[in-house]
Structure 1
Amino acid sequence: MLRQSPEPVIPTTGFSRLSGIAALGFAFLIVMGNVIVVPAGLPRTGADIDAVDAFFSTEGDLVRVASVLTPAAWVLATLFGAGAVRALWRSERACGEAWSLLGFAGLILQNAAFAGVIAIRLALASTAADGTDGSAGLWALHDALFTLNGTFLALALVGLSVGGRHAGIIRPWHHVLGLASAALLFTSATLTPLVIDRTGPLGLLGLAGWLLWVVWVAAYGIVLMRLDADARSREAARQVPGDAR
């Protein structure tokens, strides 16, 4: 009888745990980025260009400080997405589905879109003192890109919510939360021409969707961390002497 090879040792920090921590870190950084600039008076979508020019002329340094957080946030978002795909892929292959890939694509696209948003904010911080002629065009582009980004967030939410529910790793409330956030963000993106035309209640659709998105990401991070802990517990149980038959 051939002797079986010993079971592989599970690392102290598995990839699921790492990607779960990344999700929590991503949620924390995007909240902190807004905590820095929003109380200082960051203009809302559709704001008057004079208010935009005044903010970026006086708070340019604050905008630069907030932008320091964003590269790390994009790295963490990508790591979270990769961990989610890893957790869902075996189940999806068995069922012939690819919801996790849809979600991962949404995360990558939102990274790219928001890189454009941050780049425009940095450009405004550098050029606002030159007058409103250049600022008007930049801010209009910022508002359009910022609002349309809801499309990519919706893709991430739908893909990973449906995939997670089908795989049985997220609970019904988490699934519903993701779909509700996706609906709000996609509706806001669809109404972009109206949202960016002027400040008003339509902008609250995107805000509500974004707040739900942050909660959803953090909850998903906890799910991935628990998956790693459960896997290590099962592996430890299998290695207890006397259990082998």
Structure 2
Amino acid sequence: MSSAGIGWQLLDVPTWVRPNDAFDLRLAENSQLVIMKPAHEPFAVSPSPGVHQLPAMAPLIKRYLENIRFYVDDTHAKALTRELFGQLAKLESGGQIPVIRDVAPPDRRLLRAIDKIEENPSWEFNLQELASYSGVSERNLYYLLKEGIGMTPYRFYQRQRLIRVRQRLVDYQAGEPHISRYAADEGFSHLGRFAALYREHFGELPSKTIRCRQLLCGAEANADEASCE
């Protein structure tokens, strides 16, 4: 990253950027960039204009990214996000927050179960097969996931299918996305039940996801036209 008056510097810690700050950003292949923007400015004391690296916030954001990967539903995701911004606000205003300690690595059996569900979209749920693959009994696998990520094996499997449908709705490029077809491809045969599960998990109906995507595409198209005038 490079900003006015400052040479290139490695973007390896959380960095504060105001909406009107100008900067250049270069990303290496396979890099990941996470942008977090609160709906309302939560900080009582904000850094002065310009780009500022904030290493003290790294543990907070790292824990948030680890936890948000396994949010249970929309309510849970919003609670985790409110907690993060509340802690960041407290830290930035000079307050003290609990020390975040490194936790033990997740159980390898848990990781095997997670990987099988996440990396095999065509796999049909089978608890016995999943338990055998993970090297644990069905009963213990149930409690392992429930304790480790807050979801039962089937709930996590269902969640991944919902996520894949949402990705297709968000990523479509032309024409009209087909909610019913995308849902059916992921094994949701009852459209009404699917819509209810989708809203519970993402806080909106699939149709709203499409409208938001269309509005975003319209805004991008208008910006491109304006830049060519």
Pairwise TM-score range, normalised by the shorter structure: under 0.3
Higher share of residues assigned helix: 1
Question: With structure 1 as the length reference, what TM-score do the two structures score?
Answer: 0.22
